[in-house]
Amino acid sequence: MKDGRHRFVRLVCIGFTSSALFSTIIACVDDPLSPSATLPDAGGSASPDAAKDSTTGRDASADAAVVAVDADVSTDFSTLANPNGAWTYGYSRSDPTGGDAGAFVVYTAVSAATPDIAGWYDPANVNLGAPAAWRNTSAVINTSVAPGEFAMHPGMAGEYAIVRWTAPAAGSYAVTLQFKTGDTGDTNGFLVHNGVALVTEATTSTEAVHELEVALAAGDHLDVAVGSKGDFSYDSTPVHLTIRSAGSDH
């Protein structure tokens, strides 16, 4: 671990003292970056036969209900709601693969103390802004997180910051995960399926890319967790994660 003398935690709300860090808290407001836009109603008064494939006679609406998954933790991030579609942002009190990990705690508030990098946190359990999940929507690098990157910061008391994806349907999913080096602190990381570790990184600074295919039942959870390794200073860690229907062409 790096020299801990005279250090301050750098994360989403850098430049603020702990007493003022969350003096500005916004309610969930319309987020122009949210991926959950609603398509306009096409309208019209097509006949019942128009809903059937002209060559097979199959009900086209049944096919339309099967939608290929194409999820990206960075581009899908939103401060509009938590859960946000299949994504949920939160933390566990300890190692999420251990028997004493405790409940998954969902963040309930959004901090806007630093412009362009608003993120989720738990006002009932926060120290210098952590644990937290956020995205750098600015045009410059912030705490070693590049513009557009999603990042997480673990907590001071050993909390693991977690982003959870819940499978909307049973199937096989292609998962690509990379922990980036991020800020100067050292962190560890996991990819966990319903409490069982699929990927374990003792240090996230290797920037290894993990590609795997995972069979999930509807409602199964894939959790990506970032831990502090005992010192949560300078621990903002970018996470690149995509989840797609296996075999889909994206």
Residues 151-192 have pLDDT tens digits of 999 999 999 999 999 999 999 999 999 999 999 999 999 999
Angle, alpha carbons 41-47-49 (nearest 5°):
115
Please, which pLDDT band fits residue 67 given cuts at 50, 70 and 90?
Answer: low
Complete domains list, the chain, with CATH: 68-245 (2.60.120)
CA distance 128 to 205: 23
- pLDDT 10s digits, 41-53: 333 333 334 344 4
Other C-beta atoms closer than 10 Å to the C-beta of 44 total 6
Global confidence as pTM:
0.74
Phi, psi dihedrals of residue 212, rounded to the nearest 5°:
-150, 160
- pLDDT 10s digits, 196-228: 999 999 999 999 999 999 999 999 999 999 999
